[in-house]
Amino acid sequence: MQENIKLLIELQEADSAIIRKKAVIDSLPAKLLSVENLFKETLSLYEKEKQKCELLEKKKKDKERAIEDINEKINKTKAHASNIKTNKEYQAHLKEIETIEKERYAIEDEILSAMEAIEAAAKEVKAEELKMKAEKDKVEAFRKEVEKETAEAEKELEELKVRRMAIADKVDSDVYGIYMALLEKCNGLAVVEARDEICQGCNMNIPPQMFVELKKNIETIQCQQCDRILYWKESGE
Ligand SMILES: [Zn+2]
C-alpha cells in the first residue's frame, strides 16, 4: 500500500480515537448532574418533612402560650374574689372561672394531639434524613469517581494527541490539507474503506473502473458522492 494512504488510515484512526475520547469526557458532567438532581429530590423531601415538624412545634408553642395567658386570666379573676359581696356575684364568679377552665382543657387537648403529631413527624424526618445522608454519600462517591475518570480520560486524550501529531508530521502537506478539510466537512470521518465496492462513509456503490484504480492503492481517490478518501484493504492485510 502506498505510504500516503497508510499514513492517512493511521491518521484517521488516531482522530477517531480522539473524537471518541472527547465524547467520553463531554458526557461525564451530564452523568454527574443527573445523579445530583436525584439527590436534590431526596433532599427536598427531607426538608419538607422537617418543615412540617417545625410547623407543628410552632403550633404547640402557640398553644402553650395560650395556656399561660389563660392561667393569668384565672389568677386575675381569682384575685377579684375578695371584692365579692353577694352570693349572686359569687355564683357568677365561679361560672366565669369554670368557663375559662373549660377553654384551658380544650387547648390542653390540642397540645396533646400536637405532641402526637410531632412524634410521628419526627419519625418521618429521621427516616428521610437517613435516606438523604445515604444518598449524599453515594453522590460524593460518584463525584469522586467521575473526577478520576475525567482526569484519566484527559490524560489519555493528551497521549492520543501526541501520537496523532507524530503521524500528521509524516503526511504530505497538500494531502494533509485535503484530509483536514474533509474531516471538518464529514463529521470527523475523512478516510473510509471501500469494502465490497461500497463506500463505508456514505454507502454509495463505487463504479467498477474506480474500484480497479482503488485496488492499486497508488493514488488517493475520493468518493464521488461524499468526497471521502477511499482505500481498499486486501482481506487479511
Ligand atoms: Zn462516499
In the reported structure, the alpha carbon of residue 49 is separated from the centroid of ligand 1 by a whole-number distance in angstroms of 61
CA distance 181 to 98: 97
Looking at residue 222, its amino acid is: Q
Write down the pLDDT at residue 29: 95
Ligand 1 centroid to Cα of residue 20, in Å, is 21
Greatest extent of the chain over all pairs of C-alpha atoms, in Å: 131
Ligand 1 centroid – CA 167 distance (Å): 24
Distance 169 CA to ligand 1 centre (A): 26
Fold of the 3-170 domain: Helix Hairpins (1.10.287)
**Domain map (residue ranges) of the chain:** 3-170, 177-231
Q: What residues sit around ligand 1, an ion, with C-beta below 5 angstroms?
A: 199, 201-202, 204, 223, 225-226
**pLDDT tens-digit map of 112-127:** 999 999 999 999 999 9
Question: What pLDDT is stored for residue 219 in this prediction?
Answer: 85
On the question of pLDDT at 237 being above 60, the answer is: no
Q: What percentage of residues in the chain have a pLDDT greater than 70?
A: 99
Q: pLDDT exceeding 90 applies to what percent of the chain?
A: 90
Kindly report, residue by residue over 21-69, the tens digit of the pLDDT. 999 999 999 999 999 999 999 999 999 999 999 999 999 999 999 999 9
Position 81 scores a pLDDT of 84
Please give the average per-residue pLDDT across 186-197, as a whole number: 95
Give residue 82's pLDDT: 84
- The tens digit of pLDDT for each residue in 212-230 reads 999 988 888 999 999 999 9
